A and B are shown apart, each in its own frame.
Chain A
């Protein structure tokens, strides 16, 4: 399917290349493919690119960039652009489900007429795609949640959910990088720090990466948490 992207002006210093208006792995993949092209050979004046669900934002110095030339280049580059699919890293992320680690697990299971262990099975049985990172440093928006456990958001958002929370909201899933407000449901918690300013790299995950969750016993929490705080990734790349 050939779909001409739209070039949307964002003031004089930016533009958004919009591949579509929905959450869709192919649209997301096109944004990531274009992102890779631009990063490989950045035009003069380009400051940064920001991949989102369905578009790629380009931010540039308007006094340097040749705008018309950039549009022509983008038109050509996006002709027949193949979506970038799962070429990123696949990460195995350990999760302690339920109890104090995932205070909404039982309620969500009950809502779907499932046992908590079946809910864990469905949640940890999927391969998630990181559509984008936003809202907070390192907050990964994940697609790929089993539709059987999609759960509309809480009517009353919580003002604080702990760092490492493994959440679902609607058809999305997420990993919380630092204490934050949220109306999503907490199924578990990982000691993995997707963002640690003192660690190199500070950010573990990038848009286009994949995540699989591995249930682990609560008895392993302290050991894994110590490792994460010492700067170890704890999340394992199962396919680079």
Chain B
């Protein structure tokens, strides 16, 4: 599904409205930083598949960041994690995801679409957000805010998808519904992300987790990253489009700082969980918050970057090194 997503629709869960929002906030924030937007501005979220976009009526600055999706402008490749400038009539092609699942295409100034209940995030069950309460489809026209900044193209030399290691969790809220063996299995085994993975939840394959007290509880609140275990014994990680309340026991909860990384795990990816104390989770949340806030200062002007890469690409860099190093100069002379 390709849809508009921002930081999410907060404050309406008491009325049964799921928060939704970007599956990987890190990549959304990076795409936004490249075009001078705040981190939470709505962008186009691609799940696996890409798309083709024509620019009409003026110039646009955009940026694509995420799951290793490649992009071309009028068939010419665009460097990853850079600002893309489109002129009237240009065609931007976004390829499919390669290293993860979710990519984000942000536009300078944001899309000129009216928010619903405070957000542009599309949520299928509520038919809220997106473009007229729908995901994006071929033929849609997305109005963009006129670009006032005309800032220089930039590059972000970061790739959050390179992070690895176990996914950190805080145990609970219903870890007492499981046998001791099940807790040991949960923390000591490797699971794989199943193909049943979407914006609502990721089903995991692996060893069964046995309940000690049955698997029905009277519905209580749900948060992003809850790992619920229904009767099958196979865990499901609840993601942004989850319901607001549910009736299966939750063994643990993925910490907020690791949720974007987990969301990018493709079907078949191995995943392990590590229980951490609250203090470690909060420290990680602080670190992520600082990382997000520092994105604008991590931007590098694209012109400089391009020159270096251009030189590397044409072997001229060798000649420059020769010119600067007397020893090498001697050898090549």
Chain A residues positioned under 8 Å from B51 (CB to CB): none
A12-B170, A16-B221, A134-B219 known; A202-B117 Cβ under 8 A: yes
Residue B255, interface by CB 8 Å: yes
- How many angstroms between the C-alpha atoms of A9 and B253 in the bound complex? 9
Chain B residues positioned under 8 Å from A55 (CB to CB): 220-221
Chain A residues positioned under 8 Å from B217 (CB to CB): 21
Of the 9-residue stretches A103-111, A135-143, A149-157, A227-235, which lies at the interface with chain B?
A: A135-143
Contact B173 A8 (CB under 8 A): yes
Chain A residues positioned under 8 Å from B278 (CB to CB): 9, 12, 67
Residue A195, interface by CB 8 Å: yes
Residue A52, interface by CB 8 Å: yes
Residue B256, interface by CB 8 Å: yes
Contact A134 B255 (CB under 8 A): no
- How many angstroms between the C-alpha atoms of A15 and B245 in the bound complex? 13
Contact B116 A197 (CB under 8 A): yes
Contact A63 B286 (CB under 8 A): yes
Closest to A132 in B: B245
Chain B residues positioned under 8 Å from A62 (CB to CB): 256, 281-282, 285
Chain B residues positioned under 8 Å from A48 (CB to CB): 10-14
Chain B residues positioned under 8 Å from A49 (CB to CB): 14
Chain A residues positioned under 8 Å from B125 (CB to CB): 136, 180
Contacts of A5-58 to chain B: CB distance below 8 A: 8-16, 18, 21-23, 47-57
Mark interface residues in B211-223 (1 if CB within 8 Å of A CB, else 0): 0000001111111
Contact A137 B285 (CB under 8 A): no
Chain A residues positioned under 8 Å from B284 (CB to CB): 12
Number of A-B contacts (CB under 8 A): 136
Chain A residues positioned under 8 Å from B282 (CB to CB): 12, 62-63, 67
A136-B16, A138-B16 known; A12-B281 Cβ under 8 A: yes
Contact B254 A57 (CB under 8 A): no
- The distance from the CB of A157 to the nearest CB of chain B, in whole angstroms, is 15
Contact A21 B218 (CB under 8 A): yes
Residue A85, interface by CB 8 Å: no
- How many angstroms between the C-alpha atoms of A101 and B172 in the bound complex? 43
A63-B282, A134-B243, A137-B15 known; A10-B253 Cβ under 8 A: yes
Contact B126 A137 (CB under 8 A): yes
Chain A residues positioned under 8 Å from B173 (CB to CB): 8-10, 15-16, 18
Chain B residues positioned under 8 Å from A197 (CB to CB): 116-117, 128
- How many angstroms between the C-alpha atoms of A133 and B10 in the bound complex? 16
Closest to B17 in A: A137
How many chain A residues touch B (CB < 8 A): the figure is 46
- How many angstroms between the C-alpha atoms of A51 and B14 in the bound complex? 6
- The distance from the CB of B212 to the nearest CB of chain A, in whole angstroms, is 14
Mark interface residues in A170-185 (1 if CB within 8 Å of B CB, else 0): 0000000110100000
A11-B281, A12-B285, A62-B285 known; A133-B220 Cβ under 8 A: no
- How many angstroms between the C-alpha atoms of A1 and B295 in the bound complex? 53
Residue A206, interface by CB 8 Å: yes
Contact A134 B245 (CB under 8 A): yes
A62-B281, A137-B126, A202-B117 known; A8-B256 Cβ under 8 A: no
Contact A12 B172 (CB under 8 A): no
- The distance from the CB of B239 to the nearest CB of chain A, in whole angstroms, is 13
Contact B11 A10 (CB under 8 A): no
Contact B286 A57 (CB under 8 A): no
- A sample of 24 inter-chain contacts (CB < 8 A) reads A8-B173, A9-B171, A9-B253, A10-B172, A10-B253, A11-B224, A11-B254, A11-B256, A12-B256, A12-B284, A18-B220, A48-B11, A50-B13, A50-B244, A52-B220, A53-B219, A62-B281, A63-B285, A67-B282, A137-B12, A137-B15, A138-B16, A180-B125, A207-B14
- 18 further A-B contacts with Cβ under 8 Å, apart from A9-B173, A50-B244, A55-B221, are A8-B172, A10-B170, A10-B253, A11-B256, A12-B257, A12-B285, A18-B173, A21-B218, A47-B10, A52-B220, A52-B221, A63-B286, A137-B15, A138-B16, A178-B127, A195-B15, A197-B116, A197-B128
Nearest 8 pairs of A and B residues by beta carbon: A57-B221, A11-B253, A8-B173, A12-B281, A134-B245, A14-B223, A203-B15, A9-B172
